[in-house]
Amino acid sequence: MKRILIIEDEDIIAEVQKDYLEAGGFGVEIAASGDIGLKKALEEEYDLVILDLMLPKTDGFEICKRVRQAKNIPILMVTAKKEDIDKIRGLGLGADDYITKPFSVGELVARVKAHLARYERLTSDYRARYQDEIRVRGIRIDKMSRKVFVNESEVPLTSKEYDLLLFLALHPNRVFSKDELFEKIWGLDALSDNATVTVYISKLREKVETDPSKPQYIETIWGVGYRFNL
């Protein structure tokens, strides 16, 4: 049974989420404050964390940063704020997705299932196809540590940037549309805007390409999508 940690200080919201997720077949625990949630997330084993941003004692941004530094599990942010800056900040700290209050609990369960399925698919895919690492000219992807090196210098990537690069590298010379990449990496279909893909491709190019304006690895196929070149 997949274990989920809900870090949420509003008891009613947390209990409703817990009931729906348990009905979906998940084991669920609740932490009602940031410090307790962070301790549980770091010391215990969970498959996914649902993280409210506005928490007493330790806020969600700090928890997201600390958990992502220690573990590679999906983190779904929950925020009452609608400002894009908070969403961008959370994604930049390593969150996999966000959902804004008020939201449908059914949508929350759907996103949890999608992220867990995506994580299992990506993990099993690269473990099955490669043992330790992928090397493509100057890029080295170390799958065990989830680290990326360009010309043997480590390049820091967020969780989603790494997943996107890994997926493309596992399928070289194949063109993927934005819709396909969004579904494969974010595990969602029409639940969000696939313009996210364009932003992440741009971020990846800035980090792994010698000249991002003339990419050698991640190529744009105009009108179609993107391709990773060997």
pLDDT at 73: 86
What is the pTM (predicted TM-score) of this model?
Answer: 0.58
> Tokens 């491709």 identify what position?
201
Q: How far apart are CA 46 and CA 40, in angstroms?
A: 9
- Tell me if 99 sits within 8 A of 78, measured CB to CB: yes
Across the strands, what pairs with 167?
none
Q: What pLDDT does residue 192 have?
A: 54
Give the least confident one: 20-29, 66-75, 157-166, 197-206: 66-75
Average pLDDT of the chain, as a whole number: 86
DSSP secondary structure letter of residue 188: -
Q: Which class for 207: exposed (0-12), middle (13-18), buried (19 or more C-beta within 10 A)?
A: middle
Listed residue (117, 107, 173, 155) closest to 2, CA to CA: 117
Q: What is the pLDDT of residue 28?
A: 96
Domains of the chain: 3-118 (3.40.50.2300), 131-228 (1.10.10.10)
Residue with more model confidence, 45 or 72? 45
Residue 32 has pLDDT above 50, yes or no: yes
pLDDT in tens, 81-109: 666 666 667 777 778 888 888 888 888 99
The residue written with tokens 């299932």 in the block is 113
Q: Which runs of E-coded beta strand occur in the chain? A: 3-7, 27-31, 48-52, 75-79, 97-100, 133-136, 139-142, 147-150, 153-155, 175-176, 218-221, 225-228
Q: Which residues contact 71 (CB under 8 A, 6 or more apart)?
A: 41, 42
**1 pLDDT tier (thresholds 50, 70, 90):** confident
**Strands of 86-186, DSSP E:** 97-100, 133-136, 139-142, 147-150, 153-155, 175-176
Sheet containing strand 147-150, edge to edge, reads 133-136, 139-142, 147-150, 153-155
